[in-house]
Chain A
Amino acid sequence: GQNIDQPTEMTATEGAIVQINCTYQTSGFNGLFWYQQHAGEAPTFLSYNVLDGLEEKGRFSSFLSRSKGYSYLLLKELQMKDSASYLCAVRDEGGSYIPTFGRGTSLIVHP
Chain B
Amino acid sequence: NAGVMQNPRHLVRRRGQEARLRCSPMKGHSHVYWYRQLPEEGLKFMVYLQKENIIDESGMPKERFSAEFPKEGPSILRIQQVVRGDSAAYFCASSPNPLAPTSTDTQYFGPGTRLTVL
Task: Spell out A's residues near B (CB within 8 Å).
Answer: 4, 8, 30-31, 33, 35, 40-45, 48, 50, 87, 89, 91, 93, 95-104
Contact = CB atoms under 8 A, between A and B. Distances in A.
A6 to B, nearest CB: 9
B106 interface: yes
A22 to B, nearest CB: 11
Contacts of B4: 42
A101 B101 contact: no
B25 interface: no
B69 interface: no
Given A87-B43, A104-B42, A45 B101 contact: no
Interface of B: 3-4, 33, 35, 40-45, 48, 55-56, 58, 91, 98-101, 104, 106-112
B109 A43 contact: yes
Q: Most chain-A CB neighbours within 10 Å: which of B4, B58, B109, B110?
A: B109
B40 A103 contact: yes
B99 A101 contact: no
A100 to B, nearest CB: 7
B48 A96 contact: yes
A89 B45 CA distance: 11
Given A93-B101, A98-B56, A33 B43 contact: no
Contacts of A35: 109
B47 to A, nearest CB: 10
Contacts of B35: 101
Contact of B100 (A44, A97, A101, A103): A97
Contacts of A100: 45
Nearest to B111: A42
A103 B48 contact: no
A34 B105 CA distance: 13
B71 to A, nearest CB: 21
